[in-house]
Amino acid sequence: MVDRQGTRQLTLAANQPAAATPGAGQKAPQRLRLATRESRLALWQANHVADQLRARYPACRVGLVGMTTRGDQIQDRPLSEVGGKGLFTKELELALLDGRAELAVHSLKDVPMELPDAFELTCVLARADPRDAFVSGRHAELAQMPAGSVVGTSSLRRAVQLREKFPALRIEPLRGNLDTRLAKLDAGQYDAIVLAAAGLKRLGLASRIRQVMSPELSLPAPGQGVLGIEIRRDQSEVRDALSFLEDPDTLLAVTAERAVSQALGGNCHTPLGAYARLAPNGELRLDALLADDAGNIRRASLQEAAPSTSQARLLGERVAAMLLR
């Protein structure tokens, strides 16, 4: 079904998890509509959030509002040349602004560091696998690929790390959603491709992964493996209704990671990686890298106590300063 604005109203699967009870004094929402891109992975992510909302608020009417973004439409040029990460969020934000949806579900690594004033990133869910994945039908791992083999990736961050560690390989641009990229690999356009492990696992495609790449081999992007929820800043009731989705440990990690990117002006033109995780002693460890135009990579690491988001943000800013020095 298509509404008057041309966005498709998508129904949810009937199977829902067992209901949970809202917190004391919390008002249950009557309706929650989730704006989402229409790729298979984006729909999985939106349904994952919607299932939790329906379990928490069984009387609430939950539905998806699917749409195609400019980032989905432009497939023949690198993202850094056509407007950056905002191309994946603008149409969803319009749906929030004109009242077609109450929240938007994003892969956090696709969310710009600075949102328009009318919106906020209200919560992040527990992180899935943050690592990159090597996918190939011909080779078991990157180190086994012969010189001249073609590896596809859409990410400048991945490309500079691959060129540094495997200079004999050819790194070529690769656009499209996850299924499109896999189809290009299977058609023989590439000898291998590098994708986010989380997306493959979410769609039941873990068997396609030949090598899960450690952060030492390929440092992830800020927010990789994390789902973020965006709402209108003036919708306090929606914010309250979504608060149960927040994962505190993930929030600390991505706050530090995104602080690095924000301090360095990170965008699709910036080969930048940042990955934070809690150490066994409870401190937050943050590793980051930044590459210059020549592909030279600078790295920095820091581990500090970070029991609050403000301290996690300071940790990210300190690591960014180390990279600049």
d(CA 299, CA 271): 12
Mean pLDDT value across residues 40-60: 97
d(CA 42, CA 45): 5
Q: What is the pLDDT of residue 151?
A: 98
pLDDT at 177 over 70: yes
Percent of the chain with pLDDT over 90: 78
| Annotated catalytic residue, options 110, 132, 191, 287 | 110
Mean pLDDT value across residues 152-179: 95
User: Average per-residue pLDDT in the chain?
Assistant: 89
Q: What is the pLDDT of residue 1?
A: 34
pLDDT tens track for 277-321 = 999 999 999 999 999 988 899 999 999 998 899 999 999 999 999
**Residues 6+ positions from 41 with CB-CB distance below 8 Å:** 107, 177, 178, 199, 202, 203
Mean pLDDT value across residues 135-156: 96
Q: What is the pLDDT of residue 4?
A: 32
Percent of the chain with pLDDT over 70: 85
pLDDT at 166 over 60: yes
**Residue in 216, 172, 190, 202 with CA at minimum distance from that of residue 135:** 190
Lowest model confidence (mean pLDDT) among 110-124, 218-232, 243-257, 262-276:
262-276
The backbone region for 187, taken as left when phi is positive above 0, alpha when psi lies in -120 to 50, beta otherwise, is alpha
Q: Where are the beta strands (DSSP E) in 4-129?
A: 8-10, 31-37, 61-67, 103-107, 119-124
Helices (H) and strands (E) in the chain, counts: 9, 14
Judged by DSSP in three states, 315 sits in helix
pLDDT at 8 over 50: no
pLDDT at 76 over 70: no
Domains of the chain, earliest start first: 8-126+226-246 (3.40.190.10), 132-213 (3.40.190.10), 253-324 (3.30.160.40)
Q: Based on the residue annotation, tell me whether 110 is a catalytic residue of this protein.
A: yes
CB 254 within 8 A of CB 222: yes
Note the residue count of the chain. Answer: 325
The Cα-based distances of 122 to 12, 119, 207, 259 in angstroms read: 23, 9, 34, 16
pLDDT tens track for 204-252 = 999 999 999 999 999 999 999 999 999 999 999 999 999 999 999 999 9
CA atoms within 13 A on the CB side of 178: 25
Q: Which two tokens stand for residue 240?
A: 């309250």
**Residue in 225, 29, 17 with CA at minimum distance from that of residue 126:** 225
Q: What is the pLDDT of residue 83?
A: 47
Kindly report whether the global pTM for this prediction surpasses the value 0.75: yes
Mean pLDDT value across residues 68-91: 59
Q: What is the pLDDT of residue 108?
A: 96
Q: How confident is the model at residue 20 (pLDDT cuts 50, 70, 90)?
A: low
CB-based burial label for 269 (10 Å; 0-12, 13-18, 19+): middle
Q: How confident is the model at residue 89 (pLDDT cuts 50, 70, 90)?
A: confident
Lowest model confidence (mean pLDDT) among 1-5, 30-34, 45-49, 249-253:
1-5
